[in-house]
Structure 1
Amino acid sequence: MSFPHQAIFWDIDGTLADSEPVHERSFHQAIDGLGLDLPDDLHDRILGMSEERCHAYLVQKCGLELGLAEWTARRHALYMAMLDDVHAFPKAMEIWDGLAAQGVRQMAVSNSDRRLLMANLVRLGLDLPGTLLVSRNDVRQGKPEPEPYLRGAWLLDVDPAQCAVVEDSPTGVQAGQAAGMTVYAAPDMAPGLRETLGLPCASRLLELLPA
């Protein structure tokens, strides 16, 4: 039996990289002192959103007055200062490495700014020469729209219907499904969320490899 997918597209934050706590801290530090009215579940509400969607939410719902460029520079500087706290998820990296060893094509597709995405790939040891990737800077519409994943398929010249996505957030899952790809849950996705979304775990990908 041959492997059923022509390529695997990985989200990074919260999927391969344990970076969401750093994103959360950078958000709260960026917000600190601005006098905003924030909901207790802010991180859950913005999980998986692109920077401009997060900024729009803070403007519309929380009273943020900073423009997008000023907010982004402020938030990104704080994230980069805490980059040493970003680590790989061992289970996810085991799957990536297992697929890579069998020659399966893989790519990072992220809603993050290219600068942050590249910094995370360096932390993961995945900043390899010739590596193709898709960041928020490379598309007109980020996730939950399908464009990031469709662009990944275009770059690899593969059929989207024959590709798979590994995601950790409802926003990313929606993007992968809208692109017509098979979506797998990141190994460290909350079990309750994985069950709610009805997704197989990405560990299944290793089981699908030819013997």
Structure 2
Amino acid sequence: MPEFRILGSDIQHLLVTLGPGERIYAEGGHLIWKSSTARLNATVRGGLLAGLKRALTGASFFVLEVEGPGQVDLAGFAPGKIVEIELHGSSILAEHRSFLAAEDIVEYDASLVGLGFGWLGGEGLLMARFRGNGRVFLHAVGDALELRLGSGEAIDAEAGHVLAFEEGVRATVRRVGGLKTMLFGEEGLWFAHLEGPGRVWLRTLSRGQILMGLMPELARLARSV
């Protein structure tokens, strides 16, 4: 069985040790280094239809398959935390750009979500779907939070902070509040409304917040050129 180690603090990476013939798959572009004995292969995970659905989410048509023996080290595209999710015959829906790696026995395709939620969350109509038995590793920009919602329990979250949720969780959209709150609250017009039972994973930074934080620096850099 592959050995996974999450290393680092504020900028985490995932070190995977593979025995002979053991395999994992990962989203392309996240590889830092690998043992020379570990073999790489671009493959269409789950067949042509699954690959097409992944491509519609903005993820890659192909995934990167890594076969041991050897080690491979993977990281996200921005500072953040790696979230390990173990599936026991269950499934999760995840923000497509958060996927890092998964065990070979986990199925990976995409699934339709509600029009309002998917569009406001930046996902379009499809989100990445992982199901089966095994471990999935996601990358959360900033820090990561895990909430367990009981039956009928619900939260409202800014859509860009939603990392993943179990497929049994009901995901819809809800207006932030009154007109003044919508205009001056600086939280956008809508929240993602997530209702249990099930687990929800959030990230403390959205990509929009990162871009807004960089805007003054980018503007000064442009003026200096």
TM-score, normalisation: structure 2: 0.25
**Structure showing the higher helix proportion among its residues:** 1
Higher relative contact order (CA 8 A, sep 6+): 1
**Structure showing the higher strand proportion among its residues:** 2
Larger Rg: 2
TM-score, normalisation: structure 1: 0.26
